[in-house]
Amino acid sequence: MKFFLCVMGMVMIVEGLPYFAFPEKMKDIISAVTQLPDNSLRRFGAVLMLLGLGVVYFGKSLL
């Protein structure tokens, strides 16, 4: 549970950094994302999840 909380904290830091550093640009990006079709967002989400799974697998295999 301790490791999980550390990972969740790191995710929040990485996710929040662009909003803190570039708030104007993030508004533009969010506006553009709302115009994308649902299927494109689903594909993008699936690719990100697979990449994340690959990173976790790679990280675990190194330890």
How is residue 22 annotated by DSSP? Answer: -
pLDDT grade, residue 60 (50/70/90)? confident
Contacts of 19 (CB under 8 A, 6+ apart): 26
Its pTM stands at 0.73
Question: Per-residue pLDDT tens for 28-54?
Answer: 999 999 999 999 999 999 999 999 999
In the chain, where the domains are located: 2-62
Give the integer Cα–Cα distance in Å for 12 and 3. Answer: 14
